[in-house]
């Protein structure tokens, strides 16, 4: 069902990874993503995959849970795989009519698939191991130097907090509305594209009405409690780097060095 979507979800835990400062995790994830794009050979992926595997093992998030999160993007994955496999010219391995698979195509296809999988698992580790609230706190702190040039760091963070907070609510709401319309005989699974697009109306209209209602209630509740943006707000838990955060930075630097050296040599 629609609730199976795990991308962007938090997996409760108490591992070292969970307890790291959110800023460390955000920076680490960004670097990891950049590196995935720098790497241009399979050995580099092996190193990155190994490090990611170590992080997953330490975080104690079950692998099955993470893999399940890949399901919704399976189609995109297969699509890029097929596109690469059939579209790239080179040494032909197999041909049938106008369809052909080339060695270069196959290599690129596998390469891109690994890159995508690493990318998605790597970035989902960030949200799996970080409470949405500390995630946005971290983003706010990282963005705060840019306040001087007029970037509304607090407002951006608040918007993200609210968005993250309401994803499960809206999913639940969608699930409920879908079931209610199904109970009235609505059919979302069969029929041609136009029919299916039309069958979305009975879901989307109530969903939008709900979303606006929720937004209005929330705005009212915030105003009733005198919310007025980030000025002069203090926080209960001040963020401070601890020993484990410096250790994480050290490991990250090491990882960075290995990847750079590796891509220079090979």
Partner 1 sequence: MSIRVENLIHIYDKGMPTEQLALDNISFTAEDGQMVGIIGHTGSGKSTLLQHLNGLLKPDSGRIVIGGTDITEPGVSMVQIRKKIGLVFQYPEYQLFEETVAKDVAFGPKNLGLSQEEIDERVREAIELVGLDFETIKDRSPFDLSGGQKRRVAIAGVVAMRPEVLILDEPTAGLDPKAHKDVLAMVEEVHRRTGNITILVSHNMADIARLCDKIIVIDSGKLVTTGTPYEVFSKKDELRAVGLELPPVTKFTESLRERGLQLESTILDIDQAADQIAAYLKRKAK
Site for partner 1, rule CB under 8 A = 3, 11-12, 64-65, 176-177, 179-187, 201-202, 205-206, 209-210
Give kind and range of the element (H or E) at residue 99: strand 99-102
- Name the minimum Å distance from CB 213 to partner 1: 9
The string over 50-70, giving b where at least 16 C-beta atoms fall within 10 Å of a residue's C-beta and e elsewhere, is ebbeebbeebebeeeebeebb
CA distances from 33 to 30, 37, 120, 235, 256 (A): 5, 7, 9, 30, 11
The string over 133-161, giving b where at least 16 C-beta atoms fall within 10 Å of a residue's C-beta and e elsewhere, is ebbbbbbbbbeeeeeeeeeebbebbbeeb
**Which of 118, 177 has the CB closer to partner 1?**
177
**Which of 103, 201 has the CB closer to partner 1?**
201
Token pair, residue 193, equals 């594209």
- Name the minimum Å distance from CB 129 to partner 1: 14
**Which of 123, 181 has the CB closer to partner 1?**
181
Q: How far, in Å, CA of 87 to CA of 104, rounded?
A: 10
**Which of 64, 97 has the CB closer to partner 1?**
64
User: What is the CB-side half-sphere exposure of residue 206 using CA atoms within 13 A?
Assistant: 15
Three-state helix/strand/coil letters over 234-265: CCCCCCCCCHHHHHHHHHHHHHHHHHHHHHHH
**Which of 209, 219 has the CB closer to partner 1?**
209
**Which of 57, 209 has the CB closer to partner 1?**
209
- Name the minimum Å distance from CB 121 to partner 1: 18
- Name the minimum Å distance from CB 195 to partner 1: 12
């Amino acid at each position: 069902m629609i609730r199976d979507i795990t991308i962007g979800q938090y997996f409760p835990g108490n591992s070292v990874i969970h307890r790291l400062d959110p800023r460390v995790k955000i920076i680490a994830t960004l670097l990891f993503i950049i590196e995935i794009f720098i790497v241009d050979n399979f050995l580099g992926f092996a190193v990155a995959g190994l490090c990611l595997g170590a992080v997953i093992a330490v975080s104690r998030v079950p692998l099955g849970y993470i893999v399940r999160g890949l399901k919704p993007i399976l189609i995109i994955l297969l699509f890029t795989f097929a596109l690469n496999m059939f579209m790239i010219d080179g040494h032909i391995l197999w041909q049938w009519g106008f369809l052909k698979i080339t060695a270069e195509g196959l290599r690129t296809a596998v390469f891109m698939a690994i890159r995508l999988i690493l990318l998605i698992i790597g970035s989902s580790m960030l949200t799996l191991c970080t409470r949405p609230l500390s995630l946005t706190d971290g983003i706010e702190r990282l963005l705060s130097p840019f306040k001087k040039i007029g970037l509304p760091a607090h407002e951006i963070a608040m918007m993200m907090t609210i968005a993250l907070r309401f994803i499960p609510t809206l999913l639940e709401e969608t699930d409920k509305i879908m079931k209610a319309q199904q109970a009235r005989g609505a059919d979302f699974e069969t029929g041609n594209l136009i029919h299916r697009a039309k069958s979305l109306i009975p879901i989307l209209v109530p969903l939008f009405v709900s979303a606006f209602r929720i937004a209005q209630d929330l705005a009212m509740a915030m105003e009733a409690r005198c919310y007025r943006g980030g000025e002069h707000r203090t926080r209960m838990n001040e963020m401070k780097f601890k020993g484990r955060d410096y250790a994480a930075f050290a490991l990250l630097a090491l990882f960075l060095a290995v990847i750079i050296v590796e891509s220079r040599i090979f």
